[in-house]
């Protein structure tokens, strides 16, 4: 009499498949592959990198210098963190700082809330108001300043946007009115040959100054 067949052998342990989008040799992904692996890259970020990416994603493509990033996010070596994020395609290195690509920003903000606009505005306002801040650097960050002001206004905190832009210059009626022979209204009331002075303002403050006239 033939013996009864025994129970089927238990299957061996399954090997966890490696995500197809990640390079098997550990090499950095090519540009066209970054969008496919953004969720995997975001999942592996440490706290400093996640904070930097959250800030730049909130700025919606605006460029920010590493020292400003470090002060806002409170990361000691923001430049190194930004370089690490750039190497894997989560940030872009620009002439004056770093920015977050749109597809990465969408994915990042889909996993976390935007960076707190109150802290963003407070840090940028304090930096702009410092006497040792280079006006040219403020001008280079105008897009980030405008974005921070827009976030504050959208949240119903217009006073933060006003503080960030600074008080608009006071204009007298004589200065606002065109002056014969003057190149512009800004030149009226200024002695010939004396250059204009003053810190460059974000475009929002420029619009308010123009509206005052």
pLDDT in tens, 5-33: 555 555 554 443 444 444 444 444 554 45
- Residue 37: which pLDDT band, with cuts at 50, 70 and 90? confident
Q: What average pLDDT score do residues 116-125 get? A: 96
Residue 180 pLDDT > 60, yes or no? no
Residue 159 pLDDT > 90, yes or no? yes
- Residue 200: which pLDDT band, with cuts at 50, 70 and 90? very low
On whether the CB atoms of residues 179 and 171 are closer than 8 A, the answer is no
Give me the domains of the chain, ranges plus CATH numbers: 32-109 (1.10.10.10), 117-177+200-212 (no CATH)
CA distance 140 to 96: 8
Kindly report, residue by residue over 42-88, the tens digit of the pLDDT.
888 999 999 999 999 999 999 999 999 999 999 999 999 999 999 99
- Residue 125: which pLDDT band, with cuts at 50, 70 and 90? very high
CA distances to 30, 93, 107 from 27, in Å: 9, 20, 22
Residue with tokens 């974000």: 202
pTM of the complete model beyond 0.85: no
Helices (H), the chain: 34-43, 47-58, 66-73, 78-87, 102-109, 117-129, 135-140, 142-154, 158-165, 173-176, 203-212
């Amino acid at each position: 009499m033939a013996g009864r067949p025994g129970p089927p052998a238990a299957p061996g342990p399954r090997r966890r498949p490696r995500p197809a989008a990640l390079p098997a040799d550990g090499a950095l992904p090519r540009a066209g592959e970054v969008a496919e692996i953004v969720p995997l890259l975001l999942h592996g970020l440490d706290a400093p990198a996640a904070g930097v990416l959250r800030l730049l994603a909130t700025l919606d493509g605006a460029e920010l210098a590493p020292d400003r990033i470090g002060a806002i996010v409170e990361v000691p070596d923001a430049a190194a963190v930004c370089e690490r994020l750039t190497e894997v395609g989560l940030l872009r290195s620009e002439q004056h700082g770093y920015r977050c690509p749109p597809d990465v920003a969408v994915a990042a903000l889909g996993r976390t809330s935007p960076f707190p606009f109150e802290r963003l505005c407070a840090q940028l306002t304090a930096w702009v108001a410092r006497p040792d801040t280079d006006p040219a650097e403020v001008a280079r960050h105008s897009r980030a300043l405008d974005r921070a002001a827009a976030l504050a206004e959208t949240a119903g905190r217009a006073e933060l946007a006003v503080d960030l832009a600074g008080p608009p210059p006071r204009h007298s009626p004589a200065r606002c009115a065109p002056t014969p022979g003057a190149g512009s209204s800004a030149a009226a009331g200024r002695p010939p040959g004396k250059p204009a002075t003053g810190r460059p303002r974000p475009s929002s403050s420029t619009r308010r100054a123009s509206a005052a006239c």
